[in-house]
């Protein structure tokens, strides 16, 4: 599979230009190199995609679970077979280290399709005996055509969180990647062209407030699934509410990463780095609030500073690179802006805090791994920075840290690090978030539900419950009684 110099929109199994011919460039944020050119979809293009999806729906819906499972497994196989290309493009397009894309993003993308293939293949029906003469059969039906919109931080991986259950459940999809990272979705469309019937998967590219909004507002879309900021999540929810259709929302986070005095020190230092430096901190579940108990605080912070200084920031294409480029200039400026806000609020820069501009760095958008010592009421501890910037906060007691952890509008994830199992379980249960790791963080394997409480979202993904977000239950009630029902007695 070769990367094309220009991509159109993938509609009804064919590539077509945007109806007004407009395009935008996909560039590598590490060095500015042009990767390819993408089409900017119009409302008419979105309409064509929805029409194509509805045309494909009857045939796709009619397939048995066994047939759809075979196709999902083929999708996983083709992703695995093209893993080096997909990992390289994901890295070039988003700035993430190739190592991360190779060992996490692409294998877990393939795994989502295998997971849902297995689920539907093994599914059994539900029958209830209501009384001696009545039984009910519950069948699940797909919703029809669904609209899916994903962000730029894990384009393919989060894409698979949505595509796999939607397709497994028998829906057809109109899918929009972020205009910052559209390349791998387009390559995937080419890879799947011979596997999925035409129209089952349609890829629309373009800006969120145009192409994305057209998807939200299209009357032919029967469900919305969105991952991105809480601000846009409100728009998705509003659009769904207006048309009375369901919406799954995976939104922002400001997750507490809690380190007690009795944690495994070396492992905990790793945990801070994985929590806030993985994918340059552009992770919804990033452990961005680093709560450290007072007994180890000074020693822990000194060890963190040492570790952060050693992080190999550099060319994402090198396998030894540990942290790559920020996805685009706008996001880099947002992150740098928050570092300034933190300083103005009185936070102390423990390490990092600057853009890297020397030599090759000057061509891209690189920021030093950064730690700010602050307090939980600061904006840097309450608002999502979405970059390699952790806020270190000292605490004294278990009660105090639980209160601070929950003093946030978000509730996506959290982690607790201690060798005391009782304390770990107490804190894990008290933290208000959809996922809590104990002595670990950032891992999101298929099968374990992921999603947010509070302003972090509605619904769960990567678990069998996500199938139910893409189907509706029909109850078929059967009376085997031969006589009249007897409700209206006849003379």
Closest CA to 397 of 430, 373, 371: 430
Instruction: Say how far apart CA 271 and CA 294 lie, in whole Å.
Output: 18
First to last CA, the chain: 77
From 90, 250, 282, 461, the catalytic residue: 250
| Residue spans of beta strands (DSSP E) within 211-250 | 223-227, 247-250
By beta-carbon proximity to ligand NDP, the closer residue of 74 and 243 is 243
Closest CA to 256 of 392, 450, 374: 392
By beta-carbon proximity to ligand NDP, the closer residue of 355 and 454 is 454
Least CB distance to ligand NDP at residue 124 (A): 30
Least CB distance to ligand NDP at residue 335 (A): 12
Unique residue bearing structure tokens 């929805």:
50
Asked if 229 touches ligand NDP (CB under 6 A), the answer is yes
Asked if 208 touches ligand NDP (CB under 6 A), the answer is yes
Asked if 8 touches ligand NDP (CB under 6 A), the answer is no
284 given a catalytic annotation: yes
Residues 6+ apart with CB under 8 A from 359: none
Site for ligand NDP in 258-287 (CB under 6 A): 284
Asked if 207 touches ligand NDP (CB under 6 A), the answer is yes
By beta-carbon proximity to ligand NDP, the closer residue of 338 and 386 is 386
By beta-carbon proximity to ligand NDP, the closer residue of 300 and 386 is 386
Cβ-contact 207, 25 below 8 angstroms: no
Site for ligand NDP in 138-197 (CB under 6 A): 149-153, 158, 176, 178-180
Instruction: Say how far apart CA 153 and CA 157 lie, in whole Å.
Output: 9
Asked if 297 touches ligand NDP (CB under 6 A), the answer is no
Asked if 459 touches ligand NDP (CB under 6 A), the answer is no
Least CB distance to ligand NDP at residue 138 (A): 30
Instruction: Say how far apart CA 491 and CA 474 lie, in whole Å.
Output: 36
| Of 112-120, 124-132, 194-202, 212-220: span binding ligand NDP (CB under 6 A) | 212-220
- Residues near ligand NDP (CB under 6 A), total: 31
- Alpha helices for 261-371 (secondary structure H): 265-277, 297-310, 329-345
Percent of the chain as helix, strand, coil, to the nearest 5: 40, 25, 35
| Residue spans of beta strands (DSSP E) within 22-104 | 23-27, 34-39
Asked if 228 touches ligand NDP (CB under 6 A), the answer is yes
Least CB distance to ligand NDP at residue 350 (A): 24
Cβ-contact 239, 262 below 8 angstroms: no
Neighbours of 50 (CB within 10 A): 25
Concatenate the DSSP letters of all residues of 420-456 into one string. -HHHHHHHHHHS-SSEEEES--S---TTS-B--EETT
Asked if 369 touches ligand NDP (CB under 6 A), the answer is no
Instruction: Say how far apart CA 336 and CA 272 lie, in whole Å.
Output: 20
Asked if 250 touches ligand NDP (CB under 6 A), the answer is yes
Site for ligand NDP in 399-458 (CB under 6 A): 412, 452, 457
Asked if 227 touches ligand NDP (CB under 6 A), the answer is yes
Asked if 375 touches ligand NDP (CB under 6 A), the answer is no
From 284, 373, 441, 461, the catalytic residue: 284
By beta-carbon proximity to ligand NDP, the closer residue of 31 and 331 is 331
The helix (run of H) or strand (run of E) holding residue 407 is none
**What DSSP character marks residue 210?**
I
Candidate residues 48, 71, 173, 251; the one interacting with ligand NDP per rule CB under 6 A: 251
By beta-carbon proximity to ligand NDP, the closer residue of 29 and 208 is 208
Closest CA to 417 of 257, 307, 283: 257
Least CB distance to ligand NDP at residue 477 (A): 39
Asked if 94 touches ligand NDP (CB under 6 A), the answer is no
Instruction: Say how far apart CA 36 and CA 321 lie, in whole Å.
Output: 24
Asked if 216 touches ligand NDP (CB under 6 A), the answer is yes
250 given a catalytic annotation: yes
Least CB distance to ligand NDP at residue 301 (A): 26
Asked if 384 touches ligand NDP (CB under 6 A), the answer is yes
By beta-carbon proximity to ligand NDP, the closer residue of 74 and 210 is 210
By beta-carbon proximity to ligand NDP, the closer residue of 301 and 467 is 467
Instruction: Say how far apart CA 86 and CA 173 lie, in whole Å.
Output: 21
Asked if 7 touches ligand NDP (CB under 6 A), the answer is no
Instruction: Say how far apart CA 88 and CA 148 lie, in whole Å.
Output: 24
The β-bridge partners of 356 are 366
Closest CA to 253 of 30, 444, 108, 469: 444
Show the site string, 30-59: x = touches ligand NDP by CB under 6 A, - = not.
------------------------------
By beta-carbon proximity to ligand NDP, the closer residue of 13 and 177 is 177
Least CB distance to ligand NDP at residue 451 (A): 7
The β-bridge partners of 256 are 289
Q: Which residues bind ligand NDP (CB under 6 A)?
A: 149-153, 158, 176, 178-180, 207-209, 212-213, 216, 227-229, 232, 235, 250-253, 284, 384, 386, 412, 452, 457
Active-site positions read: 250, 284
């Amino acid at each position: 599979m070769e990367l094309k110099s220009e991509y159109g929109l993938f509609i009804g199994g064919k590539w077509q230009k945007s109806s007004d011919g407009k395009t935008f460039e996909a560039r590598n944020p590490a060095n500015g190199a042009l990767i390819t050119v993408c089409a900017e979809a119009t409302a008419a293009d979105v309409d064509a995609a929805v029409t194509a999806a509805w045309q494909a729906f009857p045939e796709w819906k009619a397939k048995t679970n066994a047939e759809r499972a075979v196709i999902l497994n083929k999708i996983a196989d083709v992703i695995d077979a093209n893993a080096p290309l997909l990992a390289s493009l994901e890295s070039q397009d988003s700035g993430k280290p190739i190592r991360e894309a190779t060992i996490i993003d692409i294998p877990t993308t393939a795994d989502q399709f295998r997971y849902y293939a297995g689920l539907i293949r093994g599914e059994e029906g539900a029958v209830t005996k209501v009384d001696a003469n009545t039984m009910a059969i519950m069948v699940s039906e797909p919703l029809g055509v669904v609209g899916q919109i994903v962000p730029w931080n894990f384009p393919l991986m989060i894409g698979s969180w949505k595509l796999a259950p939607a397709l497994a459940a028998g829906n057809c999809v109109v899918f929009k990647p972020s205009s910052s990272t559209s390349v791998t979705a387009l390559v995937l469309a080419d890879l799947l062209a011979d596997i999925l019937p035409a129209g089952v998967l349609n890829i629309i590219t373009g800006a969120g407030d145009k192409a994305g909004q057209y998807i939200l507002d299209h009357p032919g879309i029967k469900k919305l699934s969105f991952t991105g900021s809480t601000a846009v999540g409100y728009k998705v929810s509003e659009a769904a509410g207006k048309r009375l259709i369901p919406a799954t929302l995976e939104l922002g986070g400001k997750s507490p990463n809690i380190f007690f005095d009795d944690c495994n020190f070396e492992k905990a230092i790793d945990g801070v780095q994985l929590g806030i430096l993985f994918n340059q901190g552009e992770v919804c579940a990033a452990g961005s609030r680093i709560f450290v108990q007072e007994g180890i605080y000074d020693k822990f912070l000194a060890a963190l500073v040492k570790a952060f200084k050693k992080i190999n920031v550099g060319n994402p294409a090198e396998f030894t690179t540990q942290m790559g480029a920020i996805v685009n200039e706008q996001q880099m400026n947002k992150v740098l802006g928050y570092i300034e806000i933190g300083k103005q609020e009185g936070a102390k820069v423990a390490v990092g805090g600057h853009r890297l501009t020397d030599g090759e760095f000057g061509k891209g958008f690189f920021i030093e791994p950064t730690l700010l010592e602050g307090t939980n009421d600061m904006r840097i501890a309450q608002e999502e920075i979405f970059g390699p910037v952790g806020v270190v906060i000292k605490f004294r007691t278990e009660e105090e840290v639980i209160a601070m952890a929950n003093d946030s509008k978000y509730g996506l994830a959290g982690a607790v690090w201690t060798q005391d199992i009782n304390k770990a379980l107490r804190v894990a249960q008290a933290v208000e978030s959809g996922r809590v790791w104990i002595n670990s963080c950032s891992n999101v394997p298929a099968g374990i539900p992921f999603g947010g409480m509070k302003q972090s979202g509605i619904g769960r993904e990567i678990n069998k419950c996500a199938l139910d977000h893409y189907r509706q239950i029909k109850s078929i009630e059967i009376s085997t009684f031969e006589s009249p029902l007897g409700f209206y007695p006849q003379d």
